[in-house]
Amino acid sequence: MAEFTERHETMLQETHDAAIKIKTVLLGENGVKGLCGEHEELKHDYYDFKRRCILVFGVLIGAGVLGGSGYAIFQAIIQSV
């Protein structure tokens, strides 16, 4: 069986340090958001924006703005052919 040498210990310590850095980048440290926290914030902002867009389109369709405009464009295309 292979012996555990100083070289192995150094490699193990370097791997441990790299894992700590990766964890810090992903999860953050000392109140600073990591990538996971920033992703959650971005996800929240995206769904909020999506909800508002659906609401605006719903209001425009309900008011007949989009439906009437679409019908008028459709009629203009048919008449030009």
Q: Say whether pTM exceeds 0.85.
A: no
pLDDT for position 9 = 94
**Average of pLDDT values for 11-26?**
95
pLDDT at 18 over 90: yes
pLDDT at 70 over 70: yes
Longest dimension (CA), the chain: 87
Alpha-carbon dihedral sign for residues 53, 55, 59, 64: positive
pLDDT for position 47 = 97
Count the Cβ atoms, other than its own, within 10 Å of residue 68: 11
Q: pLDDT band for 48, please (50, 70, 90 cuts).
A: very high
Query: Could you give the CA distance from residue 15 to residue 11 in angstroms, rounded to a whole number?
Result: 6
User: Which residue's structure tokens are 């964890």?
Assistant: 23
